[in-house]
């Protein structure tokens, strides 16, 4: 792609528009914004801009579009698919200064927020008025709502409540040429032409920059109970997931962890390990406002786990006990990085097919000689498979491993699944999009991209390469 390199005039324009303190071009900042959480990748931007209003975002995009300067929107930079990496340099547009919760509407169960609000900050503000925004990525203490929208992020609670897309009612969007639109309406129903809101959710910053978000929220479930079932094999744990639902249970989360993941988290964070010694665990959570209903649910879940070879099932009743388990579960994605470079795959299949995915991973581990840490949202059939580089040489890592990943993805497709459940395609999964999509899909994608962003300045090189 042919983009302009920034010159002195461009720097002066941005400084005049935003003020010096909202423009970074020093080496330390450029280095910081050259990375996100993906592997060990780094692409240097030429400048980092931190606008604090929709008008400024609009002015930046209008200028960049005219000058053919690439713009990479950025939230908190926790993407695991390279979404926030500025592949072509240019501008990183950070939304960190757009961090106001604009309105919590308790009568309509809606919240209007700017994109730079941290997911947990929004949850805390809503909890104060007994409201709840369910999507809860394990990165919820850091990631921004805007990033969540751009990836249609999930999290453990997606099992019962759905992902980000199920909560976005309306978006204020700045298009590549600087024009500003609302994509929908602040209503629970909308049947007014194409659904631009859902087109933008999950579009990874390639169609526009989201500057305000209207979210649906629900009453806060006040009580939770957590069961932790231990298994001698990952396959047994996976084979237990579908029967939980077939027995009529509606857990709010069913998460899978293996012993490797638990040990790494405990060691890296120097925290107490509440998990027993066993190969693999299922964390099964129920929530609601009638704790008396939990007993029968827990009994049924307990029996189902034992019937599928669980070694033991623990119950964590208090919030403090539960948090010890959740803290470890949430830490895994982050701490795996401390032991090795890794590639994170975000496979998703219909949940009854989980054992076949694990079987394939084990087969590939043997064939290609790698170790994988598997964990994630088993209830959704969404497993994160972290393939560790450890002492694998660079050639095998770069040239051979992609063949293993392709085989894994082909297996997911054959099982009725797909190659990303919640982390998006970004930069690192782009090479595998042909597993899922054919020429017709790519032509449709290119047509949509061209309509929103004819000069291709918005997050270029993400999701797919234009034909």
Ligand X SMILES: Cc1cc2nc3c(=O)[nH]c(=O)nc-3n(C[C@H](O)[C@H](O)[C@H](O)COP(=O)(O)OP(=O)(O)OC[C@H]3O[C@@H](n4cnc5c(N)ncnc54)[C@H](O)[C@@H]3O)c2cc1C
Footprint of ligand X (CB under 6 A): 36-37, 72-80, 83-84, 95, 115, 137-139, 143-144, 146-148, 150-151, 153-155, 204-205, 209-210, 333-334, 422-423, 426, 459
Task: State in angstroms the smallest separation of the CB of 274 from ligand X.
Answer: 20
- CA 365/CA 384 separation, integer angstroms: 15
Q: Of 155 and 355, which CB lies nearer to ligand X in the complex structure?
A: 155
In 3D space, the residue among 431, 420, 407 whose CA is nearest the CA of residue 345 turns out to be 420
Contact present, 253 and 309 (Cβ < 8 Å):
no
Task: State in angstroms the smallest separation of the CB of 390 from ligand X.
Answer: 20
Task: State in angstroms the smallest separation of the CB of 355 from ligand X.
Answer: 22
Q: What are phi and psi of 381, to 5 degrees?
A: 70, 20
Q: Of 255 and 287, which CB lies nearer to ligand X in the complex structure?
A: 255
% helix, strand, coil for the chain, step of 5: 40, 20, 40
Task: State in angstroms the smallest separation of the CB of 77 from ligand X.
Answer: 4
One DSSP character per residue, 403-456 reads: HHHHHHHHHHHHTT-BSBSSS--TTTTGGGHHHH--HHHHHHHHHHHHHH-TT-
Q: Of 206 and 304, which CB lies nearer to ligand X in the complex structure?
A: 206
Task: State in angstroms the smallest separation of the CB of 400 from ligand X.
Answer: 26
Task: State in angstroms the smallest separation of the CB of 403 from ligand X.
Answer: 25
Beta-carbon contacts of 92 under 8 Å, excluding residues fewer than 6 positions away, are: 33, 45, 47, 48, 49, 71, 72, 74, 84, 86
Task: State in angstroms the smallest separation of the CB of 255 from ligand X.
Answer: 9
Degrees, nearest 5: CA angle 60-64-66:
120
Task: State in angstroms the smallest separation of the CB of 207 from ligand X.
Answer: 8
- Residue 156's alpha-carbon distances to 112, 329, 347, 375, 379, in angstroms, are 24, 10, 15, 11, 8
Q: Of 262 and 305, which CB lies nearer to ligand X in the complex structure?
A: 262
In 3D space, the residue among 439, 438, 446 whose CA is nearest the CA of residue 463 turns out to be 446
- CA 187/CA 192 separation, integer angstroms: 11
Q: Of 114 and 236, which CB lies nearer to ligand X in the complex structure?
A: 114
Q: Of 305 and 372, which CB lies nearer to ligand X in the complex structure?
A: 372
Contact present, 258 and 386 (Cβ < 8 Å):
no
Task: State in angstroms the smallest separation of the CB of 254 from ligand X.
Answer: 13
Q: Of 224 and 386, which CB lies nearer to ligand X in the complex structure?
A: 386
Q: Of 137 and 456, which CB lies nearer to ligand X in the complex structure?
A: 137
Q: Of 269 and 396, which CB lies nearer to ligand X in the complex structure?
A: 269
In 3D space, the residue among 260, 238, 261, 256 whose CA is nearest the CA of residue 359 turns out to be 238
Q: Of 232 and 338, which CB lies nearer to ligand X in the complex structure?
A: 338
Burial track 217-248 (b if 16+ CB lie within 10 A, e otherwise):
beebbeebbbbbbbbebbbbbbbbbbebbeee
Task: State in angstroms the smallest separation of the CB of 342 from ligand X.
Answer: 12
For residue 157, the Cα-to-chain-centroid distance in whole angstroms is 13
- CA 372/CA 357 separation, integer angstroms: 13
């Amino acid at each position: 792609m042919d983009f302009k390199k920034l010159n002195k005039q461009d720097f002066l324009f941005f400084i005049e528009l935003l003020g010096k303190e909202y423009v970074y071009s020093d080496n330390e900042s450029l280095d910081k914004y050259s990375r996100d959480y993906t592997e060990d990748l780094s692409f240097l931007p030429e400048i980092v801009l931190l606008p604090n209003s929709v008008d400024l975002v609009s002015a930046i995009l209008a200028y960049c579009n005219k000058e053919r300067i690439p713009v990479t929107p950025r939230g908190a930079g926790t993407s695991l698919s390279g979404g926030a990496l500025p592949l072509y340099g240019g501008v990183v547009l950070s939304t960190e200064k757009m961090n106001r919760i604009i309105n919590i509407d308790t009568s309509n169960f809606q919240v209007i927020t700017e994109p730079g609000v941290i997911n947990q900050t929004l949850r805390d503000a809503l909890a104060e008025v007994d409201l709840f925004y369910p999507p809860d990525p394990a990165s919820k203490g850091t990631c921004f709502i805007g990033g969540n929208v751009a990836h249609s992020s999930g999290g453990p609670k997606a099992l019962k409540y759905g992902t980000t897309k199920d909560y976005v009612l309306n978006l204020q969007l700045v298009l590549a040429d600087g024009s500003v639109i609302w994509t929908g309406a602040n209503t629970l129903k909308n049947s007014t032409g194409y659904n631009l809101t859902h087109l933008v959710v999950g579009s990874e910053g390639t169609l526009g920059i989201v500057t305000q978000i209207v979210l649906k929220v629900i009453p806060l479930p006040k009580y939770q109970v957590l069961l932790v079932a231990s298994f001698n094999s990952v396959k047994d744990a996976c084979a237990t997931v579908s029967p939980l639902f077939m027995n009529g249970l509606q857990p709010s989360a069913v998460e899978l962890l293996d012993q490797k993941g638990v040990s790494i988290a405990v060691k890296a964070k120097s925290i107490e390990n509440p998990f027993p010694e066993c190969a693999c665990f299922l964390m099964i959570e129920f929530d609601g406002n009638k704790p008396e209903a939990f007993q029968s649910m827990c009994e049924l879940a307990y029996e189902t786990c034992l019937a599928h070879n669980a070694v033991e099932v623990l119950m964590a009743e208090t919030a403090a006990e539960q948090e010890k388990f959740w803290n470890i579960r949430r830490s895994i994605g982050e701490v795996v990085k401390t032991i090795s470079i890794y590639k994170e795959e975000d496979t998703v299949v219909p949940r009854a097919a989980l054992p076949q995915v694990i079987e394939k991973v084990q087969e590939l581990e043997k064939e290609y000689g790698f170790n994988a840490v598997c964990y994630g949202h088993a209830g959704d059939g969404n497993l994160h498979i972290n393939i560790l580089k450890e002492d694998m040489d660079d050639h095998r890592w770069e040239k051979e491993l992609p063949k293993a990943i392709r085989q894994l993805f082909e297996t997911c497709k054959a099982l009725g699944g797909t190659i990303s459940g919640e982390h998006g395609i970004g930069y690192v999964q782009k090479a595998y999009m042909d597993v899922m999509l054919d020429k017709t899909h790519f032509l449709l994608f290119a047509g949509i991209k061209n309509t929103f962003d004819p000069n291709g300045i918005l997050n270029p090189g993400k999701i797919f390469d234009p034909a």
